[in-house]
């Protein structure tokens, strides 16, 4: 019986085998990274010992003894450094979230305007984009802060409306005083949002099935607004409104938007919006002209062409660079230190200075920024996957 | 601000990747090997205490303290590099070795002396206390009337902590506006962002000279803290500690004995008082004992800058824009707190 001798499997050297070679390289890289981290860590420990420094987190629970200008949770100097850092973190998240939302809205609007057929409008926004994009953000922050600080003092505050004042202490507006009777209102509001989402989906299905277009937006708005109102009415409107009143040096009552917050928000939003505008414009231009022409041939009006045909396709191009802008905005918010907005870096710096724990504090804020950035880009990647064109 | 983050980052990086530090005497050895002493001063400038002139040459009270130290180490007042630091960046800069000595009105406190910072305060050059400045038009006469005020304050200072203590103690509330760059902070106060501005008294007097209308602002009489200020070095170098301490003591002793820039040579030639003869090095031994480059280091310093009182009057005194009285900073024989151990 003759068999075809299969040649004995040539013993290829492992460096010629791409799989093994890849594994070996990865192992080497991993070993290198571990070595660098280990060397850095042991060297740091040796340095800290030599300088009589200790590594530890006990400072987090010690009283901070300094005050923080503003925060989403109350903070007194008797509270701990740990709480001060949380106040700073919440302030960072507040500016990042509000900033990202506003910068996106403004950026999209400006990007679309720059493509307008009205030359005045297009040139005007082009000028804005070029000026804002090409000057340093820090300079813009100083400019906004200086402008806000030239507003009159609290005793000569500009009245903006009933109970609303604008001064160099910020903007004061009346606000509902929180009490437990407001919980039903909050739940009614949440339930309203859920109902609105469900209703919008049902209406969309119906429109796709039957072709008639029910007024989705008014129905959704009504579903969100009416339940909280009813919840208030049933309890006989128990909420008290706190109105800002000038008392002593400053206004008390109401809520305030501090000059530092407003200056930082203005600076970040206007700066980032200019970049987003260019990204949006690029995305729209990337959609082929034929799409416009086809949509027009169907008789769609321009705003709808933009909303229903162009933007959904442009999003594929827009999302990845947009993610970078969101990350930039979040990290740029650390420029807050320059104008005294107590964000994470600002509070960390003070903590570092008062405790001498440079390594620990820097470790904390590096990890926090890393986490925020990874979460943001994780979310955006998920969203990008959803809007990506599905090739069939 | 940005610089501060960079510095703090560098300090941390230096700890992570830098070489491990050596034994005692190391700082003085490093200074001598380099040929200059690096002196951290309040940046960008602090009138009276440390200001660069149009040519970029630093002058002022704290600056001359550093130059006097340079005379002791090198017998040459020009062997100083001045490094501007902020209240936030100064400690990382010192820990990290970017500066050898801070001469920027740093307060001597227990935690800075002993805690994780591990600094040394060889001598006090200025006795200060925290004060509060308000615009005259507010008609405030006492710090106790400041409930609810918005306060401009620098971060990372004892000032920031004393402020919180003082308001808490007096059951008052306040809103801090915390900006690191002194120029930005002063501008915020000048524009009315804050009702009051707090700092050490002398520093406030210095900042007041830079306001749009210095006469429209008053410094309230309360001193809400003790602020002993002096050159600050890293702990662990006894030789450098001795040099800094005895440089300051020489200035104080000289004033006590009435030795001035003008008469120092004449007194050295004719003095019979053994205390003066030892201080000026007419009877040798004292300079070499502290490790000075020149046994007559005190005489050289006084010849260059005068005694403590002369340096004070030149930069901070009543005939300067700051207009400070000697007060606690008078020699002990004249009712002040300045008291130096004898050179013997």
Sort residue A65 into left (φ over 0), alpha (ψ -120 to 50) or beta: left
Is it the case that residue A41 has pLDDT exceeding 80?
yes
Provide ipTM, 2 decimals: 0.76
Paired sense of beta strands A175-176 and A241-242, if any: antiparallel
Which residues of chain A have a CB within 8 Å of the CB of B20?
43, 46-47, 50
Q: What is the pLDDT of residues B92-133, one digit of tens each?
A: 899 888 999 999 999 999 988 987 668 999 999 999 999 999
Higher pLDDT among residues B58 and A303, named by residue: B58
Which residues of chain B have a CB within 8 Å of the CB of A260?
177
Q: Tell me what the pLDDT averaged over chain A comes to.
A: 88
B 294-323: CB under 8 A from A: none
Say how far apart CA A207 and CA B273 lie, in whole Å.
108
- Best-predicted range by mean pLDDT (A111-115, A151-155, A350-354): A111-115
Give me the pLDDT at residue B14, please.
57
Choosing among B12, B148, B159, which should be mutated to test the A contact, i.e. which has the most A CBs within 10 A? B12
Say how far apart CA A344 and CA A351 lie, in whole Å.
10
Give me the pLDDT at residue A164, please.
83
Exposed, middle or buried, B171 (CB in 10 Å: 0-12/13-18/19+)? exposed
Does residue A214 form part of some domain? no
Q: What is the pLDDT of residues A149-184, one digit of tens each?
A: 998 888 888 888 777 888 888 888 888 777 777 788
Q: Does A320 touch chain B (CB under 8 A)?
A: no
- Closest residue in B to A142 (Cα–Cα): B184
Number of neighbouring beta carbons within 10 Å of residue A375: 10
List all residues 6 or more positions away from B96 whose beta carbon is below 8 Å from its beta carbon. Answer: B7, B10, B11, B14
Is it the case that residue A237 has pLDDT exceeding 90?
no
List all residues 6 or more positions away from B148 whose beta carbon is below 8 Å from its beta carbon. Answer: A247, A248, A249, A250, A252, B172, B173, B174, B175
**What's the rounded mean pLDDT across residues A49-56?**
75
Q: How far, rounded to the nearest angstrom, does the alpha carbon of residue B178 sit from its chain's CA centroid?
A: 22
Q: Which residue from B16, B21, B12 is spatially nearest to A42, judged by alpha carbons?
A: B16
Per the CB < 8 A criterion, the answer to whether B173 and B148 are in contact is: yes
Place of tokens 């702990």: B235
Give me the pLDDT at residue A56, please.
83
CA distance to A198, A208, A209, A210, A226, per residue, from A219 (Å): 11, 18, 19, 18, 10
Q: Tell me what the pLDDT averaged over chain B comes to.
A: 90
Does residue A147 form part of some domain? yes
Question: C-alpha angle with apex B173: B172 to B175, nearest 5 degrees?
Answer: 150
Place A2 in a pLDDT band, splitting at 50, 70 and 90: low
Say how far apart CA A362 and CA B87 lie, in whole Å.
18
Does residue A92 form part of some domain? yes
Does residue A48 form part of some domain? no
Give me the pLDDT at residue B21, please.
45
**What's the rounded mean pLDDT across residues A35-61?**
85
Query: Helices A119-133 and A81-114: crossing angle, nearest 10°?
Result: 150
Does residue A118 form part of some domain? yes
Stated pTM of the model:
0.81
Sort residue B335 into left (φ over 0), alpha (ψ -120 to 50) or beta: left
Does residue A288 form part of some domain? yes
Give me the pLDDT at residue B328, please.
92
Give me the pLDDT at residue B23, please.
47
Q: Provide the CB-side half-sphere exposure for B83 (13 A, CA).
A: 21
Place A6 in a pLDDT band, splitting at 50, 70 and 90: low
CATH classification at residue A359: 1.10.3720.10
Per the CB < 8 A criterion, the answer to whether A83 and A59 are in contact is: no
**What's the rounded mean pLDDT across residues A219-238?**
82
Split into its structural domains, chain A has a count of: 1
Indicate yes or no: CB of A335 within 8 angstroms of CB of B2.
yes
Sign of CA dihedral A117, A118, A120, A122: negative
Indicate yes or no: CB of B20 within 8 angstroms of CB of A342.
no
Tell me the residue range of the domain where A340 lies.
Answer: 81-157+262-387
Which residues of chain A have a CB within 8 Å of the CB of B178?
69, 340, 342, 346, 350
Give me the pLDDT at residue A44, please.
85
Q: Provide the CB-side half-sphere exposure for A232 (13 A, CA).
A: 13
Paired sense of beta strands B196-200 and B149-153, if any: parallel
Is it the case that residue A229 has pLDDT exceeding 50?
yes
Does residue A153 form part of some domain? yes
Of B20, B21, B156, the CB nearest to A349: B156
Does residue A211 form part of some domain? no
**What's the rounded mean pLDDT across residues A232-243?**
76
Which residues of chain B have a CB within 8 Å of the CB of A342?
178
Of B20, B117, B181, the CB nearest to A356: B117
Of A168, A353, A362, the CB nearest to B155: A353
Is it the case that residue A69 has pLDDT exceeding 50?
yes
**What's the rounded mean pLDDT across residues A262-291?**
94
Q: What is the pLDDT of residues B33-84, one digit of tens each?
A: 999 999 999 988 899 999 999 998 999 999 999 999 999 999 999 999 999 9
Indicate yes or no: CB of B2 within 8 angstroms of CB of A52.
no
Q: Does B177 touch chain A (CB under 8 A)?
A: yes
* Helix H or strand E segment including B90: helix B90-96
Give me the pLDDT at residue B16, please.
60
Across the A:B interface, residue pairs with CB atoms under 8 Å apart total 162
Place A99 in a pLDDT band, splitting at 50, 70 and 90: very high
All residue ranges of chain B with pLDDT < 70 are 1-24, 116-117
> How many Å is the Cα radius of gyration of chain B?
21
Indicate yes or no: CB of A356 within 8 angstroms of CB of B91.
yes
Indicate yes or no: CB of B175 within 8 angstroms of CB of A350.
no
How much of chain B is in helix, strand and coil states, percent to nearest 5?
Answer: 45, 15, 40
**What's the rounded mean pLDDT across residues A12-40?**
89
List all residues 6 or more positions away from B192 whose beta carbon is below 8 Å from its beta carbon. Answer: A149, A153, A168, B135
Q: Which residue from B173, B318, B314 is spatially nearest to B251, judged by alpha carbons?
A: B314
- Closest residue in A to B88 (Cα–Cα): A353
Say how far apart CA B158 and CA B119 lie, in whole Å.
15
Q: What is the pLDDT of residues A319-336, one digit of tens each?
A: 999 999 999 999 999 999
Residue ranges and CATH numbers for the domains of chain B are 2-127 (3.40.190.10), 130-225 (3.40.190.10)
**What's the rounded mean pLDDT across residues A195-221?**
85
Number of neighbouring beta carbons within 10 Å of residue B298: 33
Give me the pLDDT at residue A160, please.
80
């Amino acid at each position: 019986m003759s068999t075809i001798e299969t040649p004995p499997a040539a013993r290829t050297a492992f460096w010629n085998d791409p799989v093994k070679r890849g594994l070996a390289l990865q192992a080497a890289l991993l070993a290198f990274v571990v070595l660098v981290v280990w060397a850095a860590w042991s060297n740091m420990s040796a340095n800290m010992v030599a300088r009589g420094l200790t590594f530890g987190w006990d400072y987090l629970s010690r009283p901070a003894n300094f005050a923080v200008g503003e925060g989403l949770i109350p903070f007194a100097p008797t509270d701990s450094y740990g709480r001060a850092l949380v106040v700073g973190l919440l302030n960072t998240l507040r500016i990042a979230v509000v900033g990202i939302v506003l910068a996106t809205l403004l950026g999209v609007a400006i990007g679309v305007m720059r493509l307008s057929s009205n030359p005045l409008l297009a040139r005007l926004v082009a000028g804005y984009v070029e000026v804002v994009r090409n000057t340093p953000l820090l300079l813009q922050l100083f400019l906004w802060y200086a402008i806000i600080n030239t507003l009159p003092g609290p005793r000569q505050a500009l009245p903006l409306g009933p109970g609303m004042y604008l001064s160099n202490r910020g903007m004061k507006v009346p606000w509902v005083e929180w009490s437990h009777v407001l919980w039903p209102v909050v739940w009614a509001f949440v339930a309203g949002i859920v109902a609105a989402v469900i209703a919008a989906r049902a209406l969309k299905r119906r429109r796709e099935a039957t072709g008639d277009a029910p007024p989705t937006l008014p129905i959704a708005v009504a579903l969100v607004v009416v339940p909280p109102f009813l919840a208030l009415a049933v309890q006989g409107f128990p909420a008290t409104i706190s109105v800002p009143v000038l008392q002593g040096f400053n206004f008390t009552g109401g809520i305030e938007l501090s000059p530092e917050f407003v200056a930082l928000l203005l600076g970040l939003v206007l700066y980032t919006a200019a970049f987003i505008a260019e990204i949006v414009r690029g995305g729209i231009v990337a959609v082929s002209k034929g799409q416009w022409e086809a949509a027009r041939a169907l008789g769609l009006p321009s705003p709808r062409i933009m909303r229903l045909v162009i933007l959904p396709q442009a999003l594929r191009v827009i999302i990845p660079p947009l993610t970078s802008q969101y990350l930039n905005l979040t990290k740029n918010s650390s420029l807050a230190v320059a104008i005294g907005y107590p964000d994470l870096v600002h509070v960390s710096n003070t903590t570092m200075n008062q405790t001498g724990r440079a390594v620990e504090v820097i470790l904390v804020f590096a990890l926090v920024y890393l986490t925020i950035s990874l979460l943001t880009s994780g979310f955006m990647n998920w969203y990008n996957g959803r809007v990506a064109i599905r090739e069939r | 601000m940005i610089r501060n983050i960079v510095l703090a980052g560098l300090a941390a990086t230096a700890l992570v990747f830098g070489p491990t530090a050596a034994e005692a005497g190391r700082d003085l050895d490093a200074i001598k090997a380099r040929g200059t002493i690096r002196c951290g001063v309040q940046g960008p400038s602090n009138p009276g205490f440390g200001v660069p002139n149009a040519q970029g040459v630093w002058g002022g009270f704290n600056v001359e303290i550093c130059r006097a130290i340079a005379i002791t180490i090198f017998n040459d007042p020009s062997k100083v590099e001045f490094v501007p630091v902020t209240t936030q960046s100064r400690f990382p800069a010192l820990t990290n070795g970017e500066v050898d000595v801070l001469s920027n009105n740093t307060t001597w406190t227990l935690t800075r002396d002993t805690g994780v910072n591990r600094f040394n305060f060889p001598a006090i050059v200025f006795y200060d206390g925290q004060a509060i400045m308000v615009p005259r038009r507010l008609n405030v006469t006492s710090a106790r009337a400041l409930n609810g005020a918005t306060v401009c304050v620098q971060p990372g200072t004892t000032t920031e902590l004393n402020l919180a203590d003082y308001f808490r103690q007096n059951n008052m509330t306040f809103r801090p506006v915390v900006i690191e760059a002194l120029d930005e902070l002063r501008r915020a106060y000048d524009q009315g962002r804050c009702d009051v501005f707090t700092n050490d008294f002398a520093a406030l007097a210095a900042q007041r000279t830079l306001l749009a209308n210095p006469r429209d602002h008053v410094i309230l009489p309360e001193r809400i803290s003790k602020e002993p200020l002096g050159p600050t070095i890293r702990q662990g170098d006894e030789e450098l500690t001795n040099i800094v301490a005895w440089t300051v003591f020489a200035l104080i002793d000289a004033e006590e004995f009435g030795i001035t820039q003008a008469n120092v040579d004449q007194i050295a030639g004719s003095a019979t008082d053994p205390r003066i003869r030892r201080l000026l090095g007419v009877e040798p031994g004292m300079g070499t004992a502290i490790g000075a480059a020149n046994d007559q280091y005190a005489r050289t310093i006084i010849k260059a800058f005068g005694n403590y009182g002369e340096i004070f009057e030149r930069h901070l005194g009543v005939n300067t824009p700051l207009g400070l009285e000697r007060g606690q900073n008078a020699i002990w024989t004249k009712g002040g707190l300045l008291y130096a151990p004898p050179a013997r």
